[in-house]
Amino acid sequence: MWPFNKKQKTVTSEEFASALMQLMGRSAKDFCVALQKQAEEKWPFESGEVSTLGTQVFVAYLWMVSKAFAPDKRVLDLLHDGYLSGYLRSGATREESAALANAAQSELFARYEKYYKAWDDGGMALAFEMSQFFFPKRKPVLDAFLHASIQAHVGAFMLSALEFRKKYAIVDT
């Protein structure tokens, strides 16, 4: 048997979403560190920018996975539910929590729309659009090296995510 013809591991959507969330979390953390380091070479980085960068990079990762795994709707729903569940627990009352989650979902889908449009315009347009959300205090972010770094990372992550997907057969009952 050829070494590259390994059998796929059979998992449920929940199991795959959990594994994918871990992959996204590790990769997003590493990417945030790299972006912060690159940005700090150009301007002083404030403490509030660190949390904004982390949140916005994770939203970009959700979009990348949504783009790459469009046929895996159940997995994407689970990832989005996981992201939005933090908002459901953040309000003082049930109604406030629901309102925050609904607002976060609307913002997420509006962002996706911008990213899809920028994707259609080319990778550098997507990197520019992402940089505006990653560094909102620096708008417009007009740094070609930063954009190239984002563009390269988006492409690399999407390819690695697709390779990760090939390892699993998702079977739900």
User: Tens digits of per-residue pLDDT, 122-138?
Assistant: 789 999 999 999 999 99
What pTM does this model have? 0.90
Tens digit of pLDDT for each residue in 82-105?
Answer: 999 988 888 778 888 889 999 999
* pLDDT bracket for residue 5 (50, 70, 90): low
pLDDT of residue 65: 96
Q: Is residue 56 part of a domain?
A: yes
DSSP assignment of the chain: --TT-PPPEEE-HHHHHHHHHHHHHHHHHHHHHHHHHHHHTTSPPPHHHHHHHHHHHHHHHHHHHHHHTTT-HHHHHHHHHHHHHHHHTSSSSHHHHHHHHHHHHHHHHHHHHHHHHHHHH-HHHHHHHHHHHHSGGG-S---HHHHHHHHHHHHHHHHHHHHHHHTEEE---
Number of domains in the chain: 1
Q: Is residue 75 part of a domain?
A: yes
Q: Is residue 5 part of a domain?
A: no
Q: What domain range includes position 139?
A: 12-166
pLDDT at residue 12 greater than cutoff 70: yes
Q: Is residue 171 part of a domain?
A: no
Q: Is residue 151 part of a domain?
A: yes
Q: Is residue 116 part of a domain?
A: yes
Q: Is residue 1 part of a domain?
A: no
